[in-house]
Amino acid sequence: MKTNQYSGFHKLTMEQRAQEVAEFAGLTAEELAHITKPGALSDNVADKCIENVIGTYQLPMGIAMNFVIDGQERLIPMVVEEASIVAAASNAAKMARPSGGFYTSYTGNIMIAQVQVVGVSNPHFACHSILHHKEEILAAANAKDPILVKITGGAKDVEVRVIDTLIGPMVIAHLIVDTGDAMGANAVNTMAEAVAPLIEQITHGTVKLRILSNLAAYRRVLFRSATFYKDAIGGDSVVDGIIAAYAFAEADPFRAATSNKGIMNGMDPVVVATGNDWRGMEAAAHSYMYYKYGKYTSMTRWEKDADGNLTGAIEIPMMVGLVGGATKIHPAAQAAIKILGVKTAEELARIIAAVGLAQNFAAMRALATDGIQKGHMKLHARNIATVAGATGDMLDKVVARMVADKKISVEYAKELIAKL
């Protein structure tokens, strides 16, 4: 496979699809085995990942096709159990392709470490004192990670603010740290702990929490544009329907929660496939909405251009890395990173955000046309038929009949198996 545009890719066997992906990504036989054979994560490695290990757990890895991101074709490995997600992402990417696909910008690999100071009688004066000693604080932080300093510059700035709380005012100091290709949790936490005694001396207060913030407001992917030509997606009525669906999510937190979950349907599987922290990424994405807009709202923005085409944008924190954690110890995660073809955390962040935007487009287009259930339930029917025991040609027949009869259940699938 020389291109990620492959008509009928879904019709190939698993083995054939895997071989095509291996050819595209240049996977070795060993790397391919890590994602196609059981046991990629050995018991020895698993036992060192978390506590009280009793075994390992597998999920399907699928490949989203057709993506062009910042001018480069990408295959997208997605680890997820829900039917229709991979197909929807692939279809959305195909529809974005005529306009050039997805274009992104990136604000940098900046993380925030917070230091909480309580018991300060003059908190605003204490803020000025902290800033006055900024260079000392940065030096103390950077002394803890000279390798990071050599690569990225390490801690680069200090910010301070006073917040009013239930127990009185607090001084909150932020260390602004460039973590490079690492997500950076360990680095920034270590730095926060290192500067705590110095900040206590400066403020005459008591430091309590010293920990990173998952609201990575300075580590964002911003889309310049993703244009879907109206004729390619169903015409003016579909464009208007998508914008109406977006307006609903923008205004209503109940709808926004479901719309944003659809965005995470695309992003989380890539984060999981690459061994990154999907919980931190989710926390950052959801909290950023309130930070930026003052309310919980849609993570995406949809508009019409002058020609009536649909344009989409997303601005979202992206806490991912290629250094440390499961990205380095899980062989399947390493294979997924090679399939993506990324060399930096920035590249990975841009790709993940693109998939999120594509997934949101796919869901809203479905809502604006046939409804979300039509495509989803057709794919879900395959899972139901499989659970009921259908295989081979029988599987396709049972699925077709259940969809036609609009009766998708294990019981009905078993009835059909007995009859057909």
Rg (CA), the chain: 24
How many of the other CB atoms lie within 10 Å of CB of 222?
14
- Total residue count of the chain as it appears in this document: 420
Looking at 268, 277, 282, 347, which residue is catalytic?
277
Residue of 82, 303, 370, 405 with catalytic role: 82
For 81, other C-beta atoms within 10 Å of its C-beta total: 9
Burial class (CB within 10 angstroms; exposed 0-12, middle 13-18, buried 19+) of 344: middle
> How far is residue 112's CA from residue 175's CA, in Å, rounded to a whole number?
6
Q: Please, are residues 390 and 417 in contact by the beta-carbon 8 Å criterion?
A: yes
Residue whose tokens read 């989409």 = 312
DSSP 8-state secondary structure symbol assigned to residue 45: H
| Residue of 133, 230, 376, 380 marked catalytic | 376
Taking each helix axis from N to C end, the angle separating 253-273 and 345-368, rounded to the nearest 10 degrees, works out to 140
CA angle 226, 336, 348 (to 5 degrees): 40
Asked if residues 355 and 258 have their Cβ atoms less than 8 Å apart, the reply is no
370 is catalytic: no
Among the listed residues 338, 311, 315, the one whose alpha carbon sits nearest the alpha carbon of residue 327: 338
Which tokens sit at 54?
């009793």
Q: Is 261 a catalytic residue?
A: yes
Phi-psi region of 13 (alpha: psi -120 to 50; beta: other; left: phi over 0): beta
37 is catalytic: no
Of 258, 233, 250, 252, nearest in space to 361 by CA: 233
Which long-range CB contacts under 8 A does 165-172 form with residues at least 24 apart?
A: 167/118, 168/118, 169/120, 169/123, 170/116, 170/117, 170/118, 170/120, 170/123, 171/116, 171/117, 171/118, 171/120, 171/123, 171/126, 171/127, 171/130, 171/203, 171/205, 172/114, 172/115, 172/116, 172/117
Cα distances (angstroms) measured from residue 111 to each of 179, 291, 315? 7, 16, 16
Quick one: CA torsion of 29, 35, 38, 44, rounded to 10 degrees? 90
- Contact assessment for residue 66 and residue 90, using Cβ atoms and an 8 Å cutoff: yes
Is 135 one of the catalytic residues? no
262 to 266, 268, 274, 366: CA distances (angstroms): 7, 10, 20, 12
Catalytic center residues: 82, 261, 277, 376
